[in-house]
Amino acid sequence: MKLNTSEFPPKHEQGLTDYLLEIEHKDNKSDEEEAFLIFHHIVELYDGVDAPGDITPEIITHYEQVTYKEITAENRLLHSLSKEDRKKDFYNPCNAGKRFYREKGKLIDRLCEILEIEPNKNFHMQLKEKRIYKEDIVGSKWYKFVSNNKDEINLIWKLDVEKTFESDPLAFFKKFCLKAMGIVCTLEQPKGTHPDEHKKLVKEHNAKDIYRKLSEDGKNPKAWNKKRSISELYINQKIDDGLQLTIAEQKLRQHRKHVRIHRSQPRYKPYLSNTYDSSMLDINMRKRILQNKQKGGVQDYE
């Protein structure tokens, strides 16, 4: 998205609100008018945006790819919603206006374990740059829940779980974080790495005699590809044992396919609320959500 601000604000003395309404209803808008509308819509939605230069790539991703932004705000609040309040929605006898708080809450709670998000604290403020690897997901409660409830997830979240989920859960993890929770993240598959980048790692593992101990022939290999395989094996063992990786080991691990949670997360205004009680999930929010829904999209429950 590139905003040309050379004509901002409009040269005439027409009020801003009237001008926005005028161009919004024009059939043939110029590129400058389209950009002007988009910019002011973003200003309304996101905190800290006062000029086009304040629009980060993360804001653009969130603005363009998160279809139901208010629902993602509601989903974030569910992690702090009590089980009692979730049950009120679950036992709705007429199923009218049901929001699936209990069903959704189970999956959200399990996601928050992976992301280290605590309840009763602002969800947005707890997000930090983080790399999530396959081994972080496989075996988690979130992974098991998704694997066992694919049809329910499709029904409630309107998100398809890929057939390859069990062997490669990262794609769906990224999709769920972005589409359901509004967390801007990227699925990354780094390219090959040069041995010079990992001299510190080799020095560390040589000092611990890792290469000789874990090699098949009991010798310290000279080739980098063999050293790397042994280092990867040792890193996996440390992860399985719950041990902290060194900085050098983390650097090598980053060359594995992973989902990167971005450090800069869009400050979408509803995310910044510090209210966690059920009043945030009241009928007014539901009405706004229903007004903004588009048929056939993500989380179109009706």
Q: How many domains does the structure of the chain reveal? A: 3
Q: State whether 173 and 274 are in the same domain.
A: yes
* Residue 20: half-sphere exposure toward Cβ, Cα within 13 Å: 11
Q: State whether 79 and 178 are in the same domain.
A: yes
Model confidence, pTM = 0.78
Q: State whether 88 and 112 are in the same domain.
A: yes
The answer, yes or no, to whether residue 276 has pLDDT greater than 60, is no
Residue 275 to residue 277: CA distance in whole angstroms: 6
Q: Is residue 266 part of a domain?
A: yes
Using 50, 70 and 90 to split pLDDT, how confident is the model at 34?
confident
Residues 6 or more apart whose CB falls under 8 angstroms from that of 255 comprise 190, 192, 193
The answer, yes or no, to whether residue 107 has pLDDT greater than 70, is yes
Q: For the segment 217-269, what is each residue's pLDDT rounded down to a tens digit?
A: 999 999 999 999 999 999 989 998 889 999 999 999 999 999 999 999 999 99
Q: State whether 74 and 210 are in the same domain.
A: no
Classified as helix, coil or strand, 13 is coil
Q: State whether 48 and 122 are in the same domain.
A: no
Q: Is residue 298 part of a domain?
A: no
Q: State whether 172 and 200 are in the same domain.
A: no
Q: State whether 90 and 75 are in the same domain.
A: yes
Q: Quote the strand ranges of 136-254, DSSP E.
A: 185-188
Radius of gyration of the chain (CA): 24
Q: Which domain holds residue 247?
A: 195-256
pLDDT greater at residue 20 or residue 1: 20
